[in-house]
Amino acid sequence: MTNLTADPPKPHTPRTSPDNENTLLGRVFEAVFFDNDGTLVDSTNAVNRSWLSWAEEAGLGASFRGASHGVPARQMLATLIPADQIDDAVIRLTQIELADTMGITILPGAGPLLASIPEHRRAIVSSATRELCLARLAAAGVPTPATIITIEDTGRGKPFPEPFLEAAARLGFDPARCLVVEDAPAGLEAARAAGCATIGVEGTHDAADLDADLVVASLDKLRIVLQHNGVKFELLPE
């Protein structure tokens, strides 16, 4: 694990004008980092079922209002239960999540987009554990990239920048020349703090909640154009 730390994310003004969108789409990126849940695979129902099941066992009742998508489980559990119960809760929640992969599917456009990027220029960066990330990729039928960064690889998870800094370090690229594709505000916040450009994908959250350089309705709206020094993104015509 690379020991990388940074200050908490700072406020950001989204760049959504056509000129800025064109600037992003015209740029060459050395690497692309994809979130998994909600970006490559639709696991929302499984996530919600698992958290509700855990909350019922834990006796939280009506005080539990659902999982915060894109945030590591340990960080969310720390807001719900005493510190001395967190380790056991993580173990139990993971057991429940690993047992429930029903209905997890690959999202539109995710397969072709991921496959079109050379292996040494792509990574998955997930807030889940490695075992859970791999289980959901397998359930959805997503081919597994060689580089996967999970909560076990960094000291802090999203919304802090360490996961994306770790991915850039593993692949050997400057984070400022990398692009992050995310569906959750916490992930986009982490990407910006790491210095990466961002594409937000609607679904788990509405477009208005996604503070990104470009927001798309789904990954099938994008295509990759290979360059000798990286990749470019293009919007497909409607």
* Residue 87 is among the residues annotated as catalytic for this protein: no
Q: Which of 7, 19, 37, 209 is catalytic?
A: 37
As a whole number of angstroms, the longest Cα–Cα distance in the chain is 56
Helix, strand or coil, per DSSP, at residue 202: coil
Can you tell me the distance from the alpha carbon of 67 to that of 78, in angstroms, rounded to the nearest whole number?
12
Helices (H), 27-63: 44-58
- CA torsion sign, 224 to 226 to 231 to 234? negative
Can you tell me the distance from the alpha carbon of 37 to that of 71, in angstroms, rounded to the nearest whole number?
11
* Residue 37 is among the residues annotated as catalytic for this protein: yes
Question: Which amino acid would we find at residue 153?
Answer: D
The pair phi, psi for residue 88, each rounded to 5°, is -65, -35
Helix, strand or coil, per DSSP, at residue 197: strand
Q: Closest Cα partner for 97 from 125, 153, 55?
A: 55
Q: Which of 35, 100, 153, 183 is catalytic?
A: 35
User: What pairing do the DSSP bridges indicate for beta strands 41-42 and 31-34?
Assistant: unpaired
Give me the active site residues, please.
Answer: 35, 37
